[in-house]
Structure 1
């Protein structure tokens, strides 16, 4: 296993993190489907491979994921970094969701109880909340850190402008600062390269990646023929915007590269992410040991510069305004002089 500091902090995490979203049973059977015995085997394999970073959320299987992860880590809890998230609805009341001070305090206490721990290493706000002032959310997170209930804080699924505003407020008020942004990123989903990645690089916020295989699409198990099979995961949980036909073109190239390395498409897709300098850690979720073993092997897969360039070019996101205008109007003479 390889390790890295998470953002501008001294928190050292494994380059592959274990995502416990599949733990428990719930209203999305294609996602929440792993029981206690199998989850124990998955966690044991992850620990044996050197993973020290485990991710969950209060909303996963209505809290079952947190409960199971807490039990499974047991005495090894102090050796690990646990990240959990808050913000989604956790009850029928209007105040039982969002990023208000009330809900964050209630949600944090509930997560601590379910995880059977007295602190959360990385507490992440799971989404934006347009109904709560940003200062209220950031103040509540700062107080949770000061109370020792959370050691570090992060955000997930926020636009770059909001995260930048938050970090500015945190610095101005000397509040606990975000060290992490957990975002969707994959070979077929590179939107964050427009603004989020430059912001994170500039502010020292560490990027962790969720759904690195685009909901399983890049695992290679889906084809143009079986995609509509009602029994596969994408039939029951397909919420990522993706032009599937273009995606299969990308997947054809991934399969070719995988064949050159006697690897799998999933390993190639993960290896591409791990080779990106702006990526700190990649979350891998599994419902069976064979999937986890396959994902773990990606750490040792080294793509050639030609293979990386091919994937980069094939999946490069279309520049957005004003990014393309900035590039177009760069002073060529200055660029050449500074080479």
Structure 2
């Protein structure tokens, strides 16, 4: 029934299949565990609580088997007809292990097995473990939703009234305009955003027609590597012209709920209003599937949200309650436009023009090549449709058998029995994430893979931006980006008013990843945990493969629970009820901190866990054994340390060495042109023992250590002339000594002489002496400025010129 072309497998370590199995799936299961645990805790019914606990145990067992590459076991029979076919295929595959199995089958098996835990219960049978996440995502898309709603209302009003844009237009002008509008709507569904929607209002049909072939249209289409929108439009237009009593139907095989379902309904509504179809059939999944796929009740949930938009958008979410944030009220116009959508789509649904039609076939374990034999009734039904639109990456994988096709293979060939001879007219809308791709012209695949990001899971990225280089972290096998992105500057302004909050941080993190800056450093105490939350979100938001990022965090300080923005001082812990063991470097403190960090980061492991200072109150042996056990458990891959006396660091290293435990591979200390006290002992010890130096961005605003500030650029002092000192938010009130001013002047002098930025001079001096500096960024421009240091070097004379004015300073920041 399937293609003979080999499928992608989780055993291929170079593929997104392997990344999914090892990195993505454990995180997804952890999220499900957290959701059920939360729901169980709030349940009052004893049977519900008992069953909830058993479901959590079942999910935990599944996660353990996956992470430890155990043999996949037959699905328990929950009474549904697909269980037999799942288990038969598992047997035919030879009862494989998780990391050596066809990707498509194993991922479907994962979600089907999760569902059996619920379907075999009494109280949880219809529970959607992903529902909370889907509605949260839709609510967070409010700006795009309200903009689209307004555009859509204006557009369909014009289309249906015959006034405004359509008035006085010829048939040819109207058809040309419809072609453009159809393409725009399909692109909204493809990209899932509201880009270029301004053309949907105020333009006449003649104006819109002129957009064909324009610069704006070419810009919108440049990232579409295979584009059959014109052909799809001709199919619908031809059916419209030949219209008789026959139903003109368009089917949409849905993908994600939330905002993506919203834009799918925008497309459906447009097709009906423009008379390009008279019936739209939506095909959701029957069970919770691939986290965000649409279920029938998601359609009802979305309509309910639009029915009372003020209540939906102005009611605090759990996250907003936690952060004590009050949502902005909707304007009357926004509420009216959203209510218009509810009324229009509800009317279409009631009239039978908008139909919801689930089918168990969509959640079976195989490819859509099996459709004619496995679901012949569905196969025959789809032949009655003028156009069948398959949404998303998974549907594309199933259409093509998730096989390792030559990228130049025609799409019609790759979908096998669903090709032209089937009688089903298929349009697949998919942005490239998984490995499989077909329908490319010769040389196109090579061109895309040569671009930064290489296409596929991270998407093709622009190639005209500066790229990071990589260096070995000491003598370890770990390679880190130069520089490392410092995330102290991301968080909650209630913590420090100079931090950048989530909305601004996301594009900076995306730009960093696109430029190869893949090593991100944070700490549990930064913004009381909010920094870690922000660092973890781009993985899901931008579909970044977890193994392509290095996440560094720290433990020692206590993170206050609840929505307080305070970080608790160690000396205050013993006075605070409930926090006595949630601090420091005891075994209890470390394990508690790591579990909390993993939850905030939404990851199953930390690449480099660093102790955030030395803890005199705990035996060194207890600390080092706890850290070693975390590495052994797989929750931590490497360990490092932060500022302390060299004797303290040496004691910890030698203790680990004596017992055969994991040793530190990094030291995150204070070191730059204006603070060189670490050269006396710490830097020398690290260099001689193979420990990598990663000086941190650090602000003395947070602890009582005087007016000085440290970091690779001394909190920006080395990146701007002395005349500008004290003019930034973080430097207000901070004095600069005469000696430091003289050194900064020399940095400026060399920068002007060499045509560099001042930051390049300071970093060129530093990078020669360390593995990589940790730098906080407030904009994409600052990232590009830091990356431009690549290949810049100072002469020995220039280095001496910068160093010779330095005067000894008191050692600070050590515990």
Q: TM-score if structure 2 supplies the norm length?
A: 0.37
Q: CA RMSD in A?
A: 2.1
Matched with 2:593 is 107
Q: Which has the higher contact order (CA 8 A, sep 6+)?
A: 1
| CA drift at 1:204 | 1.1
CA distance in 1, matches of 2:491, 2:559: 16
For residues 722 and 580 of structure 2, the distance between their equivalents in structure 1, rounded to whole angstroms, comes to 40
Which residue does the alignment assign to 2:486? 19
Aligned to 1:8: 475
CA deviations on 1:175-216 (whole Å, 9 max, x unpaired) are: 011111111110001111000011112211111111111122
Matched residues in 2 for 1:300 and 1:36: separation?
33
Q: Residues 81-110 of structure 1: CA distance to partner in whole angstroms, max 9, x if unpaired?
A: 111001112135222221111110000000
Match of 2:731 among 234, 247, 251: 234
Q: Secondary structure at the match of 2:614?
A: coil
Q: d(CA) in 2 for partners of 1:256 and 1:198?
A: 30
1:235-254 matches, within 5 Å, as 235=732, 244-254=737-747
Find the residue that maps to 1:7 and give its secondary structure. coil
Which of 614, 617, 620 aligns to 1:131? It is 617
Q: For 1:73 and 1:222, locate their aligned partners in 2 and report how far apart those are by CA, in whole Å.
A: 39
Secondary structure of the corresponding residue to residue 84 of structure 1? strand
1:1-339 to 2 correspondence within 5 Å? 1-32=468-499, 34-74=500-540, 75-91=544-560, 92=576, 93-210=579-696, 211-220=711-720, 222-223=722-723, 227-228=725-726, 232-235=729-732, 244-276=737-769, 279-315=770-806, 317=808
The C-alpha deviation readout for 1:206-245, integer Å capped at 9, x for no partner, is 111111111221121552xx5455x631227x5xxx8522
In 2, Cα distance between equivalents of 1:112 and 1:233: 30
Is the Cα contact below 8 Å between 1:21 and 1:31 reproduced in 2?
Answer: no
Counterpart Cα distance in 2 of 1:202 and 1:275? 16
**8 Å CA contact 2:475, 2:690 repeated in 1:** yes
Return closer, same or farther for 1:29/1:244 CA change in 2, 3 Å cut-off: same
Distance in structure 2 (CA, Å) of the matches to 1:252 and 1:221: 7
Q: Which has the higher strand share?
A: 1
Q: Deviations over 1:152-174 (max 9, x none)?
A: 00100121111111111111100
Q: Distance in 1 between matches of 2:716 and 2:582?
A: 31
**How many Å separate the matches in 2 of 1:77 and 1:247?**
41
The more displaced of 299-308 and 205-214 is: 299-308
Give the unaligned 5+ runs of structure 2. Answer: 1-467, 561-575, 697-710
Q: Deviations 1:247-288 (Å, cap 9, x if unpaired)? A: 111011000000012222122111111122xx0111111122
CA distance in 2 between counterparts of 1:28 and 1:301 reads 36
1: CA distance between counterparts of 2:640 and 2:775? 19
Runs of 5+ in structure 1 lacking a partner?
321-339
Equivalent-residue separation in structure 1 for 2:762 and 2:641 (angstroms)? 24
Is the Cα–Cα contact under 8 Å of residues 180 and 206 in structure 1 kept in the other structure? yes
Mapped contact 1:101–1:140 kept (Cα < 8 A): yes
Normalization by structure 1: what TM-score? Answer: 0.86
Quick one: structure 1 residues 316 and 203, their matched pair in 2 at CA, closer, same or farther if it must change by over 3 Å? farther
Q: Distance in 2 between matches of 1:29 and 1:213?
A: 20
Q: CA separation in 2, counterparts of 1:100 and 1:26?
A: 31
On the 8 A contact 1:274/1:299 being kept in 2, the answer is no
Distance 1:28 1:307 in 2: 40
Structure-1 residue corresponding to 2:357: none
Larger radius of gyration between Structure 1 and Structure 2: 2
What count of residue pairs does the alignment treat as equivalent?
310
| Partner-residue secondary structure (3-state), 1:111 | helix
Contact 2:557 2:612 in 1 (8 A): yes
Who is 1:336 aligned against? none
Contact 1:26 / 1:62 at 8 angstroms: preserved in 2? Answer: no
